[in-house]
Amino acid sequence: MPKSKVKVYIVNHAGHDYSAAEKWGELIPITEGHVSQGSLDRLTYEVTLAINKSGPEDWLLPSGLLVLNVIASAFWLRKHGELRLLIRDRKFRTYREMVITPSHLNYLIPTDVDKGDK
């Protein structure tokens, strides 16, 4: 079985130039153009449809509405167990890789902290 090509899922393709991200893989928009926050259920559904097609080797490129990026990141982390982000670096006109794994989260947010102390 041939290896699938790595994909870069753009949370909201809104007319910006994302061509610098093509070196990480094929660009796939999750949503396009103007997105309204009026129907969060519909947005969540659209995001999950796209993320369900993604693989663990793919990347998520945050773009657009904050709530859309939060939804996409949460579902991505849940599906793949790690979050592989491409973050825009304006100074160098490229993207930087950021990978968040469960071990990062466990280190940064210990689960054995006594939650009773306030």
Number of domains in the chain: 1
Tens digit of each residue's pLDDT (9 = 90 or more) over 14-63: 888 999 999 999 999 999 988 878 888 888 999 999 999 999 999 999 99
**Domain interval for residue 45:** 7-108
Instruction: Note whether residue 113 is domain-resident.
Output: no
**HEC sequence for 28-96:** EEEEECCCCCCCHHHHHHHHHHHHCCCCCCCEEECCCCHHHHHHHHHHHHHHHCCEEEEEEECCCCEEE
Show the tokens assigned to 15. 């007319």
* Weakest-pLDDT range from 1-10, 12-21, 77-86: 1-10
pTM: 0.84
Instruction: Note whether residue 117 is domain-resident.
Output: no
Instruction: Note whether residue 12 is domain-resident.
Output: yes
Calpha distance 95→52 (Å, rounded): 24
